[in-house]
Structure 1
Amino acid sequence: MENMEYWRWQERRSFVISAENPTGAKAGGGRGGDCTKLHPTVTIESGQITTLADIEGPAMIRHIWMTGYIGHSFILRIYWENEEDPSVECPISAFFGDAYDEDFADRDGKYPVLNSALLLIAPGRGYNAYFHMPFRRHCRITMENRSQEAKDLYYSISGSYEEIPDDALYFHACYRQEHPVQKGRSYTVVDGITGKGQFLGLTLAAGMNGNNTCWVEGEARMYIDNDRYPSMHYTGTEDYFGGAYGFGNDICQKEYQTFCGLYTGLYAVLGDQRQQYRQQQRFLLYHFHLPDPITFRENFRMTLDNLGWTGPRYDDYTSAAYWYQTLPHARLTPLPADEDMIMK
């Protein structure tokens, strides 16, 4: 982890890129004076790709905040070092750990709140990411609107110009979904990663199909450097995400209990399981391998079973995977069509 002694002088020059200062330039903010709002947001037309940041390095992105329209029709992309293909390509909602972007209330009628070391979703749908993203020469961040109408985005991208060490890796993220998971087959969280790097973790949205009994018996498997069988093999799904016994549904209270840890959690349950006729029950989870990094030298892939007490299931799984690696990188898996991302 980076030195967090914030009282020490650091040889850096800070910037914040926003609609009010789109280049992050020194003294480049609004000229309206005190208590004025000139350009708090950007409007992205249907089918338009807008460049949010175009930064010459060396520098480090340290915080990204976004709100406004925060649905799956906004596609976030990040390009490092003038590469043609993005290293990050993900719907904004899934990137911030909230793939069920159309559910504004949890089972208790409150905003789902994710409070971890790397992602924060605050009430009112304030999306925050604290992934450190170093680069040496150039960074470009874009947002595409794949919806049928114009959408507004509020954003700030914070960081600092500074020297980047030779061993720094590049941040990557990609999106996957299976609606539903093919029964009897593992769900692929990520594959096709080539190069040297570290797997950082994932966020998962799971929607129950069929009965709402146990769905967390599935095991997480990580295949490192041409493994035939997994080197990292975890037990049940709730175990991988830091819980036990169905997150409390199997014992005592007989109800899933949410929790937010620094590195792992089940932060929201959507849909009231206590109603006889209820919507699809949905779960939002995360696991970040900060204190227990998963390193690879050649390639990496991860799968997750969809399994219950009675055998394989066919639930809806949606995930975002995060990792750091050397460049160049393999092309990311193409995104589904916008209409296929809708969670029904």
Structure 2
Amino acid sequence: MKLYRIKNRQSFGFSAENPTGQKNGGTKGKDCEKLRPCIQIAPGETVTLCDTDGPGMITHIWFTGYVGHSFVMRIYWENEEFPSVEAPISAFFGCAYDENFKDRDGNYIVLNSAKILTAPGRGFNSYWEMPFAKHCRITMENRSKKEETLYYMISGWYGEIPQDAGYFHAAYRQEHPVTKGRAYTIIDGIEGRGCFAGVTLATGMNGNNTCWVEGEAKMYIDDDQYPSMNYTGTEDYFCGSYGFGNDIILNRYQTFSGMYTGLFAIMGDNREFYNGQQRFLLYRFHEKDPVYFSKNFKMTIDNLGWTGPRYDDYTSVAYWYLEKPSKLAKELPSDEEMVMK
């Protein structure tokens, strides 16, 4: 979008200070006076953060406060009873290892892309565009056993949306550990016409790290028996090469964070060649190379090293657009099953 092009739109923002998102609906406090900067969510409670009629577009979501896996975000489109987005916020924003704030160098974990930004201190930002024709509802559930704090801002605009606008979807998956010898499923059960938009992936090494990035990413489009999109390795799918530098010259993984892809964080001692028990956080967003499908879509990725199949811990969130809101294929694991240290 060109900012100099003036559109017939009205901006909105839902926050703790303006929970209804109404025009003129923010704080009645005086200058330099905070009345309600955050909310408390009780154990087992689900709160509605945004409830509004369209047409319009969600353009930015910001969260901080408690940022662990026990907070589950859900987004419902067009008054449907089922969510089209369901994921713990830590994994949605690429930080599935939510108990690990520091990377291997002792710095805050930072993801700096065009679609998701995780800023120092765990400021979670989403720039995914999320159009809706009639209605949007966004909720947050606290699945922990104690009260937690949430700071939030959900902003966008009301106005005409394109007739061919699709609905944003996102779904969480995990295997702790991956079944040895069987591909990890990033996403399946997607039915309809749409576009695969990307994935965030967290991997935890179990045992010696014998080049875990040998696994191929495979995309099955419209009843494929064999993948139409077949990448040659895990680091290749995430647009790197040679073990992100670990295979040649440096013998040490090097992080990077670009507009659409990155290996943005490593946790654990990485100074020794192929040292085990490391944690890696990656993302790939198909902004410039979208993957279109007409009937259905599935994506898998192998957990494979030089010595053969592995049994590492994999956690992911897939993102896609569909021509109409769709129910997600699988339910979330329990809060206890999501613990990743």
Q: TM-score range by the shorter chain?
A: over 0.9
Q: Would you say the 8 A contact 1:193–1:330 is kept in 2?
A: no
Secondary structure at the aligned position of 1:89 is classed as: strand
The match for 2:134 among 133, 137, 159 is: 137
Q: Counterpart in 2 of 1:96? A: 93
Tell me which amino acid in the other structure corresponds to 2:131.
P
Q: Counterpart in 1 of 2:296? A: 299
State whether structure 2 residue 42 is matched by structure 1 residue 56.
no
Match runs of 1:242-321 below 5 Å: 242-274=239-271, 280-321=277-318
Secondary structure at the aligned position of 1:93 is classed as: helix
Match runs of 1:78-93 below 5 Å: 78-93=75-90
Q: Give 1:32 deviation, angstroms.
A: 0.7
The match for 2:104 among 103, 107, 116 is: 107
Q: Counterpart in 2 of 1:28? A: 25
Q: Give 1:166 deviation, angstroms.
A: 1.1
Q: How many residues align?
A: 340
RMSD over aligned Cα, in angstroms?
1.2
Tell me which amino acid in the other structure corresponds to 2:219.
M
Q: Give 1:185 deviation, angstroms.
A: 0.2
Q: Counterpart in 2 of 1:159? A: 156
Instruction: Return closer, same or farther for 1:160/1:328 CA change in 2, 3 Å cut-off.
Output: closer
The match for 1:229 among 226, 229, 232 is: 226
Secondary structure at the aligned position of 2:157 is classed as: strand
Q: Would you say the 8 A contact 2:202–2:315 is kept in 1?
A: yes
Q: Counterpart in 2 of 1:190? A: 187
Tell me which amino acid in the other structure corresponds to 2:68.
G
Q: Counterpart in 2 of 1:217? A: 214
The match for 1:169 among 149, 159, 166 is: 166
Instruction: Return closer, same or farther for 1:244/1:275 CA change in 2, 3 Å cut-off.
Output: closer
State whether structure 2 residue 170 is matched by structure 1 residue 178.
no
Q: Counterpart in 1 of 2:335? A: 338
Secondary structure at the aligned position of 2:91 is classed as: helix
Q: Give 1:213 deviation, angstroms.
A: 2.5
- Which segment is superposed worse, 319-328 or 196-205? 319-328
Tell me which amino acid in the other structure corresponds to 1:248.
G
Q: Give 1:55 deviation, angstroms.
A: 0.7
Deviations 1:279-298 (A, max 9, x none): 83100000001111100010
Secondary structure at the aligned position of 2:264 is classed as: strand
5+ residue gaps in structure 2? none
Q: Would you say the 8 A contact 1:198–1:324 is kept in 2?
A: yes
Secondary structure at the aligned position of 1:153 is classed as: strand
Q: Would you say the 8 A contact 2:171–2:328 is kept in 1?
A: no
Q: TM-score, normalised by structure 2?
A: 0.98
The match for 2:204 among 200, 204, 207 is: 207
Tell me which amino acid in the other structure corresponds to 1:61.
I
Q: Counterpart in 2 of 1:119? A: 116
Q: Would you say the 8 A contact 2:73–2:87 is kept in 1?
A: yes
Secondary structure at the aligned position of 1:206 is classed as: strand
Tell me which amino acid in the other structure corresponds to 1:263.
Y
Tell me which amino acid in the other structure corresponds to 1:341.
M
Q: What stretches of structure 1 move > 6 A for 4+ residues in a row?
A: none
Q: Give 1:275 deviation, angstroms.
A: 6.8
Q: TM-score, normalised by structure 1?
A: 0.97
Q: Give 1:46 deviation, angstroms.
A: 0.0
Secondary structure at the aligned position of 1:193 is classed as: strand
Secondary structure at the aligned position of 1:75 is classed as: strand
Tell me which amino acid in the other structure corresponds to 2:49.
L
Secondary structure at the aligned position of 1:340 is classed as: helix
Deviations 1:13-61 (A, max 9, x none): 0011100001111111101121011000010000000000001100100
